[in-house]
Amino acid sequence: ITRLCLSKSNISRGFTQALIHASQEHRSLTHLELYQNQIHVDDISQLQALHEKDTLLHLIISNKPREHSVQDKVKDGQKSSTYSL
């Protein structure tokens, strides 16, 4: 998996650790978008750290629905990261 988009999910710590491993160790996951998900705060921090190190090239974590986040992103001219929790 190189790109993954999840909406309205309860994301377990184990699943998040698998995503982190895929991005960090295998360099396979490069784009991750999470909309209206339940995810542990420590896992969010780890994902943000991967994004800041350019291991995870594209990261969006938002409490807004995907449709609203995409509209806001286009309107604001944002590129890669959104952390609006």
**How high is the pLDDT of residue 41?**
95
* pLDDT number for residue 74: 47
Residue-level pLDDT at 34 = 96
Place of tokens 């604001």: 76
Per-residue pLDDT of the chain (85 residues; tens, 9 = 90+): 899 999 999 999 999 999 999 999 999 999 999 999 999 999 999 999 999 999 999 999 999 998 755 555 545 555 556 655 4
pLDDT at 22: 93
Helices marked H in the chain — which ranges?
A: 13-24, 41-52, 66-76
CB 33 within 8 A of CB 6: yes
